[in-house]
Chain A
Amino acid sequence: SQQGEEDPQALSIQEGENATMNCSYKTSINNLQWYRQNSGRGLVHLILIRSNEREKHSGRLRVTLDTSKKSSSLLITASRAADTASYFCATDARGNKLVFGAGTILRVKS
């Protein structure tokens, strides 16, 4: 079963705009990770946030985590056409096992 659920399922924006994706999960976690998947490729790790952290930045990425609401958001600022991909949240609830959500498909139009 998939623990994480992303929202929205699909998002289409113009280049230069910001993109926000949300993830909700059901059980307590050790950490939450975001991955990107380009069409026909494997997943690439983007960022990890621990359960005791509330916000984390990496370049144009900003991730927040609210453990009381069991939710996380991924913000991509100043989006580029190359950001077009599917984005998945994955929860690590017990050692070394990730449970992935269904993903958000992001399309950035140039």
Chain B
Amino acid sequence: EAGVAQSPRYKIIEKRQSVAFWCNPISGHATLYWYQQILGQGPKLLIQFQNNGVVDDSQLPKDRFSAERLKGVDSTLKIQPAKLEDSAVYLCASSLGGAKNIQYFGAGTRLSVL
């Protein structure tokens, strides 16, 4: 079974530039999550999709972050314009949902904003 795929693995941009991350979840997983993980901290949920609908985006800075899940499969997360404090690892995860809610994570995209 293929895992969660993310690209790119690394990205370096200057502040005020825009950047996009891509995620392909495990086949059949209806729920998709984007997390932000700042160095030395645990992952913080940015947005949760159920199929192609948003379930929770309460912690997504909507003035600069946006996300979509095309046809309920792949997803992209965009930052425009980026700030220095956006430097972090962006993790995508997917799950079948249900009572257990075990999540499967991609390797992440490490973003450095200079």
Contact = CB atoms under 8 A, between A and B. Distances in A.
Interface of A: 2, 4, 30-31, 33, 35, 40-45, 48, 88, 90, 92, 95-103
Nearest to A5: B42
Contacts of A96: 31, 48, 50, 55, 95, 97-98, 101
Given A2-B44, A42-B91, A88-B42, A30 B105 contact: no
6 contacts: A31-B100, A45-B103, A96-B50, A96-B98, A100-B43, A102-B41
A102 to B, nearest CB: 5
Contacts of A33: 102
B87 to A, nearest CB: 15
A102 B100 contact: no
Interface of B: 4, 31, 40-45, 48, 50, 55-56, 91, 93, 95, 97-108, 110
Q: Name the 6 nearest CB pairs between A and B, nearest first.
A: A42-B105, A100-B42, A43-B105, A42-B107, A100-B43, A96-B101
Given A2-B44, A42-B4, A95-B101, 17 more contacts: A4-B42, A30-B99, A35-B105, A42-B105, A42-B106, A42-B108, A44-B105, A45-B102, A45-B104, A48-B102, A92-B101, A96-B55, A96-B95, A96-B97, A96-B98, A97-B45, A97-B55
Contacts, number: 63
A89 to B, nearest CB: 9
A42 to B, nearest CB: 3
B43 A43 contact: yes
A107 to B, nearest CB: 15
A48 B27 CA distance: 22
A10 to B, nearest CB: 10
Interface centre among A2, A33, A96, A103 (most CB of B within 10 A): A96
Nearest to B40: A102
A96 B105 CA distance: 15
